[in-house]
């Protein structure tokens, strides 16, 4: 079987969103599926990580199509300039951004579609792919699904790494009109899929409830995971006179650190000598809207290291006495979890999880990954930090944790789950109407634990 993977996010693009597709391309051949990639040639993204290209399989066919988007630096400059409404440039920037938010639905990456469509049409005319797998965000890529259906017998799978509209809902930038239009578009595009995959079981349930026409047997929850190859056998160990607590990932409204930082301030006010033993490190991009919460925290032992290549980020996690995972209490957060939690599982560092009740909290408790504290309970967070520091001071702080039953989060195992979904989707695409109702999808649902 040949599968075309469509993903805007692919090396040299950096960030957590790249890993799901990158590891899938790496491990699918072990299950008899030859992948090819359709991605962007000139990505308009905030971070790049060329080191991830070491994981791209030799001989992988990669088709790169140009996007019409402006460079990311240009988009950031427009966002910055709109804060000064007095100048003509600022007023025009505001108008352009508003126009873009209304016209570029569901996201600015829709400007990649003209070139992506041409590339996909070329492959359709050649008949080289048995299946087209589209992984989002950005969700504008789902617009390619009807095109993929033009060739009879081609299976189409839509993959939700995140929720449609989650970013806009979490930071308040999605207008009600855009949300309504987006929901209609999403409904139509889902009808083009022979199968759908989601990153959490909670979102699978929400998706099926929201779109009643979906056959639940063809909607599969396949989580993110870890790749043992990413961890060397000689990772560094925690050391030093300070207790190092490390966060790796982007800080944006969904993962806001404001309550954690407020807890650090509270701890310094209550137990200054103890609090001075803490070094809280943030590795990753911090968006402008969240940067204000960090003002003045350098004096409290807070360090911002910026984005680091994936390998270096793992080293920093390994050097930490404990790690922190954050998911703020915003609408929809109860159905998602940060992809980094799986690497934290594998690394076995003590973990402080700041999250509302929901998918992440359930995952952490089920697999005994660490302590869960409500993400907006500043008093409880400060108390947890104090307990960690007092144990460190007494020499009783554990250097490792003991998560259980995490083998099924191995990316190699998950590639096998995707391979089963792909085969079922191709069978559905090639079935007659009567055969389409056969138990192929139901068998898949039973094997993956779907109700």
What residues does each domain of the chain span? 2-225+411-447, 228-394
Overall fold of domain 2-225+411-447 = Rossmann fold (3.40.50)
Answer yes or no: is pLDDT of 203 > 60. yes
Q: In the numeric block, which tokens belong to residue 237?
A: 């160990």
3-state SS track over the chain: CEEEEECCCCCCECCCHHHHHHHHHHHHHHHCCEEEEEEECCCCCCCECHHHHHHCCCCCEEEEECCCCCCHHHHHHHHHHCCCCCCHHHHHHHHHHHHHHHHCCCCHHHHHHHHHHHHHHHHHHHCCCCEEEEEECCHHHHHHHHHHCCCCCCEEEEEECCCCCHHHHHHCCCCHHHHHHHHHHHHHHHCCCCEEEECCHHHHHHHHHHCCCCCHHHEEECCCCECHHHCCCCCCCCCCCCEEEEEECCECHHHCCHHHHHHHHHHHHHCHHHHCCEEEEEECCECHHHHHHHCCHHHHCEEEEECCCHHHHHHHHHHCCEEEEECCCCCCHHHCCCCHHHHHHHHCCCEEEECCCCHHHHHHHHHCCEEEECCCCHHHHHHHHHHHHHHHHHCCCCCCCCCCCCHHHEHHHHHHHHHHHHHHHHHHHHCCCCHHHCCHHHHHHHHCCCC
Closest CA to 424 of 161, 143, 222: 222
Residue 168 confidence (pLDDT): 54
Dist CA 348 CA 2 (whole Å): 37
Average the pLDDT over 228-234 and give the result. Answer: 92
Burial of 54 (0-12, 13-18, 19+ CB in 10 A): exposed
- In angstroms, rounded to a whole number, what is the distance separating the alpha carbons of residues 318 and 271? 27
CATH topology match: 2-225+411-447 vs 228-394: yes
Residues 355-370 have a mean pLDDT of 96
pLDDT of residue 74: 76
Q: For domain 228-394, give the CATH superfamily.
A: Glycogen Phosphorylase B; (3.40.50.2000)
| Residue-wise pLDDT tens digits, 140-178 | 999 999 999 999 999 999 999 999 977 655 455 555 666
What is the band of 91 on the pLDDT scale with cuts at 50, 70, 90?
low
Whole-angstrom distance between the N-terminal and C-terminal Cα of the chain?
28
pLDDT tens, position by position, 324-353: 999 999 988 999 999 999 999 999 999 999
Q: What does the block give as tokens for 357?
A: 């009740």
Please state, in angstroms and rounded to a whole number, the distance separating the CA atoms of residues 366 and 355: 15
- Confidence class for position 354, pLDDT limits 50, 70, 90: very high
Average pLDDT over residues 179-197: 90
Half-sphere exposure of 362 (CA within 13 A, CB side): 11
**% of the chain at pLDDT higher than 90:** 79
User: Can you give the pLDDT at residue 186?
Assistant: 94
Q: 69-81: per-residue pLDDT in tens?
A: 988 877 776 666 5
Note whether 202 and 335 are within 8 A (CB).
yes
Q: Report the pLDDT averaged over residues 203-221.
A: 95
Q: Say what the pLDDT of residue 257 is.
A: 97
pLDDT(261) > 90: yes
């Amino acid at each position: 079987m040949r599968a075309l993977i469509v993903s805007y996010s692919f090396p040299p693009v950096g960030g957590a969103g790249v890993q799901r597709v990158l590891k899938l391309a790496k491990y699918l051949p072990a299950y008899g599926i030859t992948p090819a990639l359709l991605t962007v040639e000139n990505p308009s993204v905030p971070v790049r990580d060329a080191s991830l290209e070491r994981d791209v399989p030799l001989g992988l066919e990669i088709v790169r199509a140009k996007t019409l988007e402006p460079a990311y630096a240009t988009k950031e400059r427009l966002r910055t300039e709109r804060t000064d409404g007095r100048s003509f440039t600022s007023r025009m920037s505001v108008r352009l951004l508003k126009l873009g938010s209304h016209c570029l639905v569901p996201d600015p990456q829709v400007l990649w579609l003209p070139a992506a469509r041409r590339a996909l049409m070329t492959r359709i005319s050649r008949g080289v792919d048995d299946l087209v797998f589209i992984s989002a965000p950005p969700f504008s890529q789902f617009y390619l699904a009807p095109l993929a259906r033009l060739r009879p017998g081609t299976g189409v799978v839509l993959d939700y790494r995140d929720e449609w509209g989650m970013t806009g809902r979490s930071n308040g930038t999605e207008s009600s009109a855009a949300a309504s239009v987006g929901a209609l578009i999403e409904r139509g595009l889902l009808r083009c899929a022979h199968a759908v995959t989601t990153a959490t079981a909670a979102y699978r349930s929400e998706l099926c409830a929201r779109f009643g026409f979906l056959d639940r047997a063809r909607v599969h929850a396949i989580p993110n995971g870890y790749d043992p190859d990413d961890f060397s056998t000689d990772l560094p160990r925690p050391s030093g006179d300070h207790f190092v607590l490390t966060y790796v990932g982007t800080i944006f409204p969904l993962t806001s650190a404001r309550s954690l930082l407020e807890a650090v301030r509270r701890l310094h006010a209550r137990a200054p000598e103890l609090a001075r033993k803490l070094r809280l490190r943030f590795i990753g991009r911090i968006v402008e809207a969240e940067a204000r919460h960090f003002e003045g925290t350098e004096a409290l032992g807070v360090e911002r290291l910026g984005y680091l290549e994936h390998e270096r980020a793992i080293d920093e996690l390994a050097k930490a006495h404990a790690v922190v995972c954050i998911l703020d209490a915003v609408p929809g957060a109860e159905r998602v979890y940060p992809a980094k939690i799986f690497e934290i599982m594998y690394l076995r560092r003590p973990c402080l999880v700041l999250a509302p009740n929901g998918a992440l909290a359930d995952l952490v408790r089920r697999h005994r990954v660490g302590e869960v504290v409500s993400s907006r309970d500043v008093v409880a967070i400060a108390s947890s930090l104090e307990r960690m520091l007092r144990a460190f001071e007494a020499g009783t702080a554990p250097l490792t944790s003991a998560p259980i039953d995490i083998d099924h989060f191995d990316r190699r195992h998950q590639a096998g789950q995707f391979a089963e979904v792909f085969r079922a989707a191709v069978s559905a695409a090639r079935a007659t109407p009567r055969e389409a109702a056969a138990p192929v999808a139901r068998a898949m649902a039973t094997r993956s634990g779907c109700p």
